[in-house]
Structure formats: structure tokens, C-alpha cells
DNA sequence: GTTGGATGCATACAGTCTGTATGTGAATTC
DNA sequence: GAATTCACATACAGACTGTATGCATCCAAC
């Protein structure tokens, strides 16, 4: 006979519960946005109670924070997975990878629309520190070594904003190649015009 | 003797009330953001009741919408006021004007952070239709007539995103000249690289 | 200029949400 | 195996949103 009440370690239970909550929360945030999603909805979808949610997270914002960090990790992973073996043009590969990653439904809303409003700019900057901006800055330093450090930083920042906006359009159905071309135009222009 | 209960036309009363509410709401949205501002706070600051607010606006979002549209008009006006008589370099003048306009405290939060989350991308696009993107597209068409229409649209969109991001940094204290230079670098690169 | 109705706004209410306090059984520690 | 901690459920207090209702003022028609 099987055991009726399966014994589980606290650690296992906690991880299980966190995953359930985050999964349910992610689905709702993606579908309806942060403001329109309530904690009762989240716990109902996860088939638990609000007690569990507030045991694992400080508040609703904290749930959102966890979802965003997890999503950022997933995006980074997707980009890296898409980039392996594509050594000939890392910029193009990275662009395509990011665009594809951001086409996962709702990601744009989650990461580019809601996250800045809910978490603030500072935290969002920290979230994708390893992502776009860093890669762009590194690429700039390599392709245009004559640029001053401050210029590299400024250019990387506004280029990454341009890039994100392009991804947003692509995610909403705009033709990917148009925006890859557009971004490449910016990039090439910067590199060509930079002091050598 | 003065009249005790001054008679006022309905039209006058309504306009007065709307202005009071919008002024109070703007101050609070700017200071604390949309989500952290409650309608009781707004009407308290305006020294009226929620009845007045819900008489003039459909809901809290509708108040925010009105504030954003008014702010967009103010920004456009400020830019145009700053640009008069500066015929030698319209791009530079426009950049400085926008940067300066966006340094009004809280405008960045209102227009660039909260508005997309609260009103959605479509409406935000409509709000600043006359603003940045249109000017950039027009400037592109003039400076680089060889570009295809689709490319102009795409470039204008991502350039305006870069531009807004630059303004955001400047509003938070970054040196303006650094970001004007950075944006000009993008611009010049696009123009130089475009087919003639 | 009086009357009937519309308008502007205040008050009152119902429902929902958030975060916290408290309680209970299972797991861990000694 | 007793004591304690942990994971979670239940219960509660406060606040907020949007709506329904009531009253006073304004306006239009006669």
C-alpha cells in the first residue's frame, strides 16, 4: 500500500510552493499586467491561500520582483542558447536571439512596460545589467576603441534603449529584419564615425 | 457691499473644478507615481470631494490620462518656445529643448515610466505623436532622402527611444552634453551611412 | 419670474484588495 | 519524545475604488 500522507521535508515543500506561486503569478502578470492582478487571483490559480504567498514574499511587489528576476535569467539563457556556434557575427546573433526571446508572449509587457513602473529604474537597471547594456558596451569598446569611457557608457545606454524598443515592436508583430537593419544602421554609424 | 454667494455659471465652475483636480493630481502623480496616489489624496489636496472627481472623470486612470495629455502639450510648448530663433541647428536646439523640458521634476516618471504602464503603449504613442518621433522622422527624410520609408519609420522609432532614454538620464543628473553628444553620434552615423 | 428639468457636486454605500495577526499541524532539533 | 521552529491557513482591520443617491444651484421655456 502506498503511504497516504506523504512525508516531505520543509525545504522541499518550500521550494515547491515558491515555484507554484511564481508560475501562477507569472502567468497572470503576463496576461493582465501587475496592477490588474490581485493576490487572491494568484493564490487561486496556484491552488493555495494568501497565507502561503505572504509567508514566502514580503508583498505583492516582492512576488513581481521574483518573477522579473527569473524571467531575466530565462531571457539571458535563451539568448546564450541561440548564440552558441554563431561566431561569425556576434552582433547579429545577439540581436536575433534577443528579439526571439522577447517574442515570448507577455515578456515585453513584463520586462519593458511594467517592471520600470513597479520596481523603479534602478532595480530594472540591475536586473538586466548582465544583459543588453553590458554586451553593447563591450562590443563598442572592441569595435571603436577610440571612444572615451564616458561616451561608451552613454552610447551603450541609449543604444540599448533603442534596441529594447526595436524588440518591443518586433514582439508586437513588426518585421524582425526591418528592425535588425535599423539597429545595425545605428551600430555601424557609431563604429564608422568613431575616432580610431 | 460684496455679494455673499457669488453666482457662477456652470461652465465656469466646471472648468475651475477640472483645473483644481488636475493640478492636485499632477502634483501627486509626479511626486509619488500613479499607483501610490489615491483618489482621496487627490481630492483632499484639491479641497473637494471624490464626488467632484468622479463627476468629471470616469475613473482614476482617466484623471491620469488628462494629466498626461496636458503635460505632453506643455512639453511641446516648452520645446517650441526654446527653439524659436535657433535656426542654425534645429537638431541641437530640439535636443536641448527636450532635455530641458524633461528636467522638470517628475516629468520623466510621469511620461516615460508611468504612462506606458498605465495607459498602454498605443495611447502613449498617440500622446507624443506630434513630439519626438515625428520630428525625428521628418529630420531623417530631409537629411537622408535615400532611405526607404519603412527604414525611416523604424529608425525614427528606435532613435526616439534612444533619445527619451538620454533625456531620462539627463533628468536624473547626468551631464547633458554627454548625452547630446551621444545622440548626435547616432544621428550623424545614420545620416552618413545612408544611401544618397 | 416662476416652474421643470438638467447640471455640479457631496454624501453614503457595497465590494474588493492589501498586509498583518493569530492559530494549527507537521517537521526539525535536542 | 519533548520542545521548538517552520510552513501554511484562517481571521481581521484598514483603505481604496467605483456607484448610487441626494441636494443645491443653474438654466431654459413659458
Query: Which pLDDT tens digit goes with each residue over A71-83?
Result: 999 998 888 888 7
Q: What pLDDT score was predicted for residue A2?
A: 39
Which has the closest alpha carbon to A34: A69, A70, A67? A67
For B188, the 3-state DSSP assignment is: helix
Of B157, B159, B160, B141, residue with least CA distance to B149: B141
Whether A161 sits inside 8 A of B157 (CB atoms) is no
| Mean predicted lDDT score pLDDT of chain B | 89
Whole-angstrom distance, CA of residue B74 vs CA of residue B70: 6
Asked if A161 reaches chain B (Cβ–Cβ under 8 Å), the answer is yes
Q: Nearest nt (C1') to B21 (CA)?
A: C9
Q: How far apart are CA A143 and CA A24, in angstroms?
A: 43
**Any A CB within 8 A of B161 CB:** yes
A104, A98, A110, A102: which is closest to A183 by C-alpha? A98
B-chain residue closest to A150, CA distance: B178
Confidence of residue A118 (pLDDT cuts 50, 70, 90): very high
Mean pLDDT of A122-137: 84
CB of B3 under 7 A from strand D? no
Identify the closest residue of chain A to B156 by CA–CA distance.
A182
Q: Please give the pLDDT value at position B87.
A: 66
- A166/B contact by beta carbon, under 8 A: yes
CB-nearest partner of A157 from B169, B191, B194: B169
Confidence of residue B2 (pLDDT cuts 50, 70, 90): very low
Q: Would you say the pTM of this structure is higher than 0.75?
A: yes
Q: How far apart are CA A15 and CA B110, in angstroms?
A: 38
Question: Which residues in chain B touch residue A160, judged by CB atoms under 8 angstroms apart?
Answer: 165
Distance (Å, rounded) from C-alpha A75 to C-alpha A165?
16
For a pLDDT cut of 90, what percent of chain B falls above it? 63
- The residues of A between 39 and 98 with beta carbon within 7 Å of nucleic strand D are 48-52, 54-56
Q: How confident is the model at residue B3 (pLDDT cuts 50, 70, 90)?
A: very low
* Mean pLDDT value across chain A: 89
* Residue B17 confidence (pLDDT): 95
Inform me whether the C-beta atom of residue B154 falls under 8 Å from chain A C-beta atoms. Answer: yes
Alpha-helix residue ranges (DSSP H) falling in chain B: 10-32, 39-46, 50-56, 60-83, 90-102, 107-108, 115-119, 121-127, 134-143, 149-171, 176-193
Residue A3 has pLDDT above 50, yes or no: no
Q: Which pLDDT value is given to residue A95?
A: 83
DSSP reduced 3-state for A138:
helix
The answer to whether A193 contacts chain B (CB < 8 Å) is: yes
Residue A175 has pLDDT above 60, yes or no: yes
Nearest nucleotide to the CA of B8, by C1', is D26
Alpha-carbon distances, residue B80 vs B86, B103, B104, B187 (angstroms) = 10, 16, 16, 21
Q: Give the pLDDT confidence score for residue A93 in this predicted structure.
A: 82
pLDDT value, residue A50:
97
Predicted confidence at residue B165, as pLDDT, reads 95
How many residue pairs bridge chain A and chain B with CB atoms within 8 Å of each other?
Answer: 129
Name the grid cell of B171.
533628468
How far is Cα B186 from Cα B48, in angstroms, rounded to an integer?
Answer: 49
Percentage of chain A lying above the pLDDT 70 cut: 94
Q: Which of A10-19, A41-50, B22-31, B40-49 shows the lowest per-residue confidence on average (mean pLDDT)?
A: A10-19
User: Above pLDDT 90, what percent of chain A?
Assistant: 63
Angstrom CA distances, B135 to A50, B85, B107, stand at 50, 17, 20
> End-to-end CA distance of chain B, in Å?
76
Kindly state the average pLDDT of the residues A19-23: 97
Amino acid at each position: 500500500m502506498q503511504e497516504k500522507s506523504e512525508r516531505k521535508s520543509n525545504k522541499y515543500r518550500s521550494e515547491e510552493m515558491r515555484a507554484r506561486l511564481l508560475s501562477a503569478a507569472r502567468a497572470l502578470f503576463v496576461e493582465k499586467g501587475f496592477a490588474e492582478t490581485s493576490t487572491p487571483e494568484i493564490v487561486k490559480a496556484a491552488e493555495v491561500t494568501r497565507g502561503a504567498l505572504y509567508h514566502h514574499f514580503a508583498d505583492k511587489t516582492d512576488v513581481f520582483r521574483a518573477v522579473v528576476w527569473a524571467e531575466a535569467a530565462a531571457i539571458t539563457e535563451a539568448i546564450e542558447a541561440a548564440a552558441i556556434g554563431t561566431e561569425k557575427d556576434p552582433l547579429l546573433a545577439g540581436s536575433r536571439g534577443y528579439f526571439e526571446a522577447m517574442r515570448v508572449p507577455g515578456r515585453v509587457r513584463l520586462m519593458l512596460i511594467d517592471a520600470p513602473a513597479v520596481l523603479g529604474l534602478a532595480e530594472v537597471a540591475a536586473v538586466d545589467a548582465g544583459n543588453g547594456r553590458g554586451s553593447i558596451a563591450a562590443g563598442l569598446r572592441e569595435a571603436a576603441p577610440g571612444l572615451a569611457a564616458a561616451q561608451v557608457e552613454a552610447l551603450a545606454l541609449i543604444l540599448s534603449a533603442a534596441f529594447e524598443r526595436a524588440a518591443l515592436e518586433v514582439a508586437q508583430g513588426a518585421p524582425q529584419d526591418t528592425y535588425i537593419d535599423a539597429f545595425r544602421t545605428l551600430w555601424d554609424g557609431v563604429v564608422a564615425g568613431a575616432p580610431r
